[in-house]
C-alpha cells in the first residue's frame, strides 16, 4: 500500500469532481462512501485501487496495485488540484449571473485528470449513438465479463476495466451479448491494440491530445472531449455533438428551451479556457431544459 497526503488549496467537492468517472450509480469501478471515494483505475503503469478521503485541511489517498507506485505524482491531478488547475469557485466573476451564483454556492467542483485514458475512452465509444441506459449496461457487462477484481482490500467491491490485451483479443461477436454492434466493437478492439499510443496523450497539450484522438476514424469531437474532461484535466473541452448539452446550456444561459452546437458555443465563448468547468457547474446545478417530444428510444444492434 502507498499513501499520499496533500493540503487543500481551497474547497473540494469530491463527489462532483470525481462523479464523471462513474458511468451511472452502479458502475463497479467506483464507489462513494461517507468518508470519501474508492476508485479502480487502469493507468499506464497498471491497475490501481485508490481510497480518497477529505479532511478539513488536507486530502489523503491510499492506493494498492502496480499503478500505486507513483501516487505522489498523479494524486493531485486526479482531484483537479495542482499548478494551473481551476475550480468552480474561480467563476464567481462570471459575466452571467447564473454561473456566478452557482460558483458561489458550489465553489469546489474541479475537472479531474485520472490519466486512465482507456477507462474514459472505451465507455465513451460505448455511448456513441445509443441511450445512456444501453451504454451503462454494456460498460457494466464488459467489466463483469472481462474485467478483474481491483487490487488491494477492495477486490470484492470494485472491478478494474479489462486489460488492453484482453479487449484486443475479443472477437467482435463477444460484444453482441452486451448490445454492442460490430462497428463499436471493432473500434474498441483497435483502441486496445494501440493502448500505449492513446495513453501517451496524458503527456500532451490539450490541443495535441485532441488532435491525436480525433485522427482515428470513429473518434470525433464528442468522444475526444469526453476523454479530455475525465482523463486529461482539460478545463476547456466541450462535447460538441451531445444530444442534451446544447439544450441545457441555451436554457440556463439564455432561457431558450432548444439549442444547437453553434448557439451553445456562442454562449460559452466568454468562458474560453474554462468552458468545461462551466458545463460541469450546469450539469450539477439541477437546471434542466424543458422536454418536448419522445426521448431517444433504445434500439437493437441490428439497427446501429
Sign of CA pseudo-dihedral 28, 188, 127, 51: positive
Cα separation, 41 vs 117, in Å, equals 10
List the one residue out of 33, 29, 53 whose CA is nearest residue 42.
29
Sheet holding 46-54, edge to edge: 2-7, 58-64, 46-54, 36-43, 30-33
Whether the per-residue pLDDT at 238 is higher than 60: the answer is yes
Average pLDDT over residues 227-239: 98
Instruction: Identify whether the C-beta of residue 91 lies closer than 8 Å to the C-beta of residue 274.
Output: yes
Q: How do residues 66-87 score in pLDDT, each as one tens digit? A: 989 889 999 999 999 988 899 9
DSSP symbols for 228-251: HHHHS--TT---TT-SSHHHHHHH
Number of Cβ within a 10 Å radius of residue 89? 18
For residue 293, give the C-alpha cell.
Answer: 417530444
Q: What is the pLDDT of residue 293?
A: 57
For residue 21, give the C-alpha cell.
Answer: 468517472
Instruction: Identify whether the C-beta of residue 170 lies closer than 8 Å to the C-beta of residue 177.
Output: no
The residue assigned the cell 464523471 is: 20
Residues of the chain with pLDDT > 90, as a percent, come to 88
Q: What is the pLDDT of residue 267?
A: 98
| pTM beyond 0.85, yes or no | yes
The residue assigned the cell 441490428 is: 302
Q: What is the pLDDT of residue 70?
A: 87
Average pLDDT over residues 6-28: 95
DSSP 257: S
Indicate the Cα dihedral angle 149, 188, 20, 153, nearest 10°: 10
Q: How do residues 243-282 score in pLDDT, each as one tens digit? A: 999 999 999 999 999 999 999 999 999 999 999 999 999 9
Amino acid at each position: 500500500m502507498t499513501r499520499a497526503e496533500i493540503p487543500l488549496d481551497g474547497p473540494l467537492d469530491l463527489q462532483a469532481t470525481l462523479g464523471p468517472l462513474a458511468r451511472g450509480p452502479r458502475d463497479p469501478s467506483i464507489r462513494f462512501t461517507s468518508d470519501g471515494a474508492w476508485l479502480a483505475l487502469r493507468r499506464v503503469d497498471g491497475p490501481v485501487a485508490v481510497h480518497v478521503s477529505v479532511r478539513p485541511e488536507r486530502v489523503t489517498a491510499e492506493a494498492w496495485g502496480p499503478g500505486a507506485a507513483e501516487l505522489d505524482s498523479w494524486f493531485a491531478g486526479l482531484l483537479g488540484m495542482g499548478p494551473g488547475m481551476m475550480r468552480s469557485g474561480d467563476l464567481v466573476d462570471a459575466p452571467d449571473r447564473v454561473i456566478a451564483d452557482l460558483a458561489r454556492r458550489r465553489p469546489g467542483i474541479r475537472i479531474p485528470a485520472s490519466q486512465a485514458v482507456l477507462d474514459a475512452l472505451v465507455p465513451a465509444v460505448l455511448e456513441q449513438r445509443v441511450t445512456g441506459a444501453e451504454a451503462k449496461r454494456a460498460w457494466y457487462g464488459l467489466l463483469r465479463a472481462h474485467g478483474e477484481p481491483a487490487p488491494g482490500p477492495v477486490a470484492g467491491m470494485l472491478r478494474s476495466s479489462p486489460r488492453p490485451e484482453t479487449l484486443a483479443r475479443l472477437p467482435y461477436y463477444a460484444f453482441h451479448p452486451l448490445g454492442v454492434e460490430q462497428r463499436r466493437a471493432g473500434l474498441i478492439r483497435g483502441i486496445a491494440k494501440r493502448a500505449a499510443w492513446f495513453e501517451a496523450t496524458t503527456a500532451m497539450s490539450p490541443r495535441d491530445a485532441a488532435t491525436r484522438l480525433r485522427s482515428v476514424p470513429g473518434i470525433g469531437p464528442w468522444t475526444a472531449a469526453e476523454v479530455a474532461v475525465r482523463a486529461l484535466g482539460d478545463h476547456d473541452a466541450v462535447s460538441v455533438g451531445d444530444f442534451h448539452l446544447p439544450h441545457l446550456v441555451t436554457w440556463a444561459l439564455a432561457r431558450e428551451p432548444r439549442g444547437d452546437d453553434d448557439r451553445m458555443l456562442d454562449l460559452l465563448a466568454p468562458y474560453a479556457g474554462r468552458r468545461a468547468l462551466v458545463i460541469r457547474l450546469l450539469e450539477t446545478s439541477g437546471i434542466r431544459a424543458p422536454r418536448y417530444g419522445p426521448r431517444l428510444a433504445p434500439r437493437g444492434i441490428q439497427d446501429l
